[in-house]
Amino acid sequence: MTACYQHNAGVAADSRPRLRAGLRLRLLGILLAAPLFAVTGLLGGFLWFALQVASQQTAALNGAADGIVALTGGASRISDAVELLASGRGQRLLITGVAPTVSTTELARLVPERQHWFGCCVDLGYNALNTIGNAVETRQWALDRGFHSLLVVTSSYHMPRALLEISHRLPGVALIPFPVVPGERRAAPWWSHAGSARLLVSEYLKYIVAKARIGFEEPTRPTETAYRSRAKI
């Protein structure tokens, strides 16, 4: 009886090192696989992001909106937004992220044939320093005017993050993208140009950070605070 017990105890003792070795191997396998899964996820997400940007570039604009918002960062964004305003695509235009030293007169010179629109239907926002600030200014402006739909004008690569930030602060407002594509990048795909590829990767990483940050934030509640444009002609 005693001999049998000692034999079983010996077998159990011998199996423990094997169990520990098996667990260590599994843990090592998980640790080695984790970076591979992370890289695969990032690559898959980037391809999705690139497809989103490409699909917006070729999408046709149908209908109009209550208002138009242009995020500064390129002269063509402003000129395209003013053309949308002049063609009746929106009632008013907000240009958000304007430098404090820039006046309405200076911006109007970008579209000389449409200068008169700046006197009646264009508002300038001077407080935004980044895309988050653009979204805050846009929210204030849209709520003050009771707009329920907006045409968003910015560069194609910047559009996903701009829509993400604005929709987070205006959950009840319909957003219609109007992506602006620089002329030198219209013909060639992004992967054929090193500068375009770097720009797209950088914007994708910023999009991931914004998505993660917004996931921890509470939805913005409406406010009655009035928006005041500091535009001077």
SS3 per-residue string spanning 128-176: CCCHHHHHHHHHHHHHHHCCCEEEEEEEHHHHHHHHHHHHHHCCCCEEE
Enumerate the β-bridge partners of residue 153: 70, 178
CA–CA separation, 7 vs 74, rounded Å?
81
pLDDT at 231: 36
pLDDT digits (tens, 9 = 90+) for 106-137: 999 888 899 999 989 999 999 999 999 999 99
Please tell us whether the domain made up of 63-215 is placed in CATH 3.40.50.300: no
Least-confidence region, from 86-95, 106-115, 168-177, 212-221: 212-221
Residue 30 has pLDDT above 90, yes or no: no
Residue 34 has pLDDT above 60, yes or no: no
Per-residue confidence band for 224, with pLDDT thresholds at 50, 70 and 90: very low
Residue 12 has pLDDT above 70, yes or no: no
Domain locations in the chain?
A: 1-58, 63-215
Q: Which residue has the higher pLDDT, 71 or 25?
A: 71
Instruction: Give, for 76, the enclosing helix (H) or strand (E).
Output: helix 75-86
- Which residues, 6 or more positions from 161, have their beta carbon under 8 angstroms from its beta carbon? 131, 203, 206, 207, 210
- Which residues, 6 or more positions from 119, have their beta carbon under 8 angstroms from its beta carbon? 233
Residue 217 has pLDDT above 60, yes or no: yes
